[in-house]
Amino acid sequence: MFKNIVITLSLLLAAPTTLSASVIDAGWTQFQFGSLGSVTQVSFDLEEDAMLNVTDAFTSGDMFTVSANNILLGNTSNVPADAGINIGNDFDAAFASAAFSSGTWLLAAGSYLIDFTVFQSALGFSGGGAAYQLASVSAVPVPAAAWLFGSALLGFFGFARRKANA
């Protein structure tokens, strides 16, 4: 009986927390980029951990390699080069659409020099526009875990009491 309580307690304490994110500063920051192979750099300081969200916009089909302080973070998502959808500068809609290349990376507090390198260009010979956003990240405990733990304890104690009285 006690072993079951210890196992349940350890499982509940190890339960994951959810992450909530809120936008730092003013939201999306637009940047312009050149043709295939061009690099756009931005720099910023983070006082706390944050999510770096990146999205293509305007004409779909551009994809980027993203590096932080000369360390590769990864590539934005794959999209067809000839998608050709024009969404303008609605960065929220572009970030939510599979037709536009995007990516998200967790950054620790610190100073950053971010490189956006174009490795696929929708227009090939000319540049375009994209944007990045920094969203703060904070751990929020899962509220259901406390209720689940309390219910489990009551159940175990009720079962043990009934078994002891039998």
Range of the domain at 7: 1-17+141-166
Is the same domain home to 159 and 132?
A: no
Is the same domain home to 89 and 164?
A: no
Is the same domain home to 130 and 159?
A: no
Q: What is the pLDDT of residues 67-124, one digit of tens each?
A: 999 999 999 999 887 767 899 999 999 999 999 999 999 999 999 999 999 998 887 6
Is the same domain home to 77 and 126?
A: yes
At 16, is the pLDDT very low, low, confident or very high (cuts 50, 70, 90)?
very low
Is the same domain home to 10 and 36?
A: no
Q: What is the pLDDT of residues 26-81, one digit of tens each?
A: 689 999 998 888 999 999 999 999 999 999 999 899 999 999 999 999 999 998 87
Is the same domain home to 90 and 151?
A: no
Average pLDDT over residues 153-164: 62
Is the same domain home to 8 and 23?
A: no
Which of 10 and 144 is assigned the larger pLDDT?
Answer: 144
Alpha carbons within 13 A on the beta-carbon side of 52: 23
Rounded-to-integer distance, Cα 7 and Cα 34, Å:
57
Report how many domains make up the chain. Answer: 2
Which of 156 and 84 is assigned the larger pLDDT?
Answer: 84
Angle between the N-to-C axes of helices 143-165 and 2-13, in degrees from 0 to 180, rounded to the nearest 10: 180
Is the same domain home to 72 and 116?
A: yes
Is the same domain home to 98 and 164?
A: no
Q: What is the pLDDT of residues 126-154, one digit of tens each?
A: 788 999 999 988 655 555 555 555 666 56
Is the same domain home to 160 and 135?
A: no
- The enclosing domain of 125 has a CATH number of 2.60.120
Is the same domain home to 51 and 120?
A: yes
